[in-house]
Chains A and B, each alone.
Chain A
Amino acid sequence: DTGVSQNPRHKITKRGQNVTFRCDPISEHNRLYWYRQTLGQGPEFLTYFQNEAQLEKSRLLSDRFSAERPKGSFSTLEIQRTEQGDSAMYLCASSPHRLAGTDTQYFGPGTRLTVL
Chain B
Amino acid sequence: GDSVTQMEGPVTLSEEAFLTINCTYTATGYPSLFWYVQYPGEGLQLLLKATKADDKGSNKGFEATYRKETTSFHLEKGSVQVSDSAVYFCALSDRMNYGGATNKLIFGTGTLLAVQP
Contact = CB atoms under 8 A, between A and B. Distances in A.
Contact of A40 (B4, B107, B110): B110
A75 B108 CA distance: 26
Interface stretch (B14-22, B69-77, B95-103): B95-103
* Interface SS of A by simple majority: strand
B104 A56 contact: yes
Interface in B60-87: none
Given A98-B96, A103-B95, A91 B104 contact: no
A105 B105 CA distance: 9
* Interface SS of B by simple majority: strand
Nearest to B43: A109
A107 B45 CA distance: 7
Interface residues on A, range: 20 to 34
Contact of B103 (A41, A44, A103): A103
Contacts of B43: 91, 107-110
A40 B112 CA distance: 9
B104 A42 contact: no
Interface of A: 31, 33, 35, 40-45, 48, 55-56, 91, 93, 95, 98, 103-110
Given A48-B104, A103-B95, A107-B45, 11 more contacts: A35-B105, A43-B44, A44-B107, A45-B105, A91-B43, A91-B44, A98-B103, A103-B32, A103-B103, A104-B46, A108-B43
